[in-house]
Structure 1
Amino acid sequence: MLQTAAQALLKKQYFPKILNDLQSDLTLLAIKSALSPTAKKIYLDIFKGSYHYSTTGSGIAMVFAGMSGFGGN
């Protein structure tokens, strides 16, 4: 799911939708306590509103840069 969000950002898809979809997917994993430490940080940052809606999505794009091995999908 994080890879899907990263690909959507690269395709410059609508950022608020990407963020909303990612939050929904991560919430399901959080309820099951199935988040990796990396995914947990991303989820908490989304929940706290750390990522601002912009046309570029640069805030959340930085999260995906160089990351691998995160939980979920």
Structure 2
Amino acid sequence: MTAELAALLELVSSARPRVEDVVVGHGRDATAEAEAFVRAWPGAVLAVVDWPEEAASWLRLGRNLIHREGP
């Protein structure tokens, strides 16, 4: 277990109200880290979601539409 993973588990485990179930999301370059978290998490993992490369470009366009000023 990496120090970063240990720190994350400690942070989430000490949260109040108590966290028992999680959903894990990760980008395309963090699959191994997400899998390590899932293996280490003592509670239920409800889902594991990854974001494809195309999602970032779609999100950028969506934000531009929302935050556009004027007509």
TM-score by length of 2: 0.29
> Whose RCO is larger (CA < 8 A, sep 6+)?
1
Name whichever structure is richer in helix by fraction: 1
Name whichever structure is richer in strand by fraction: 2
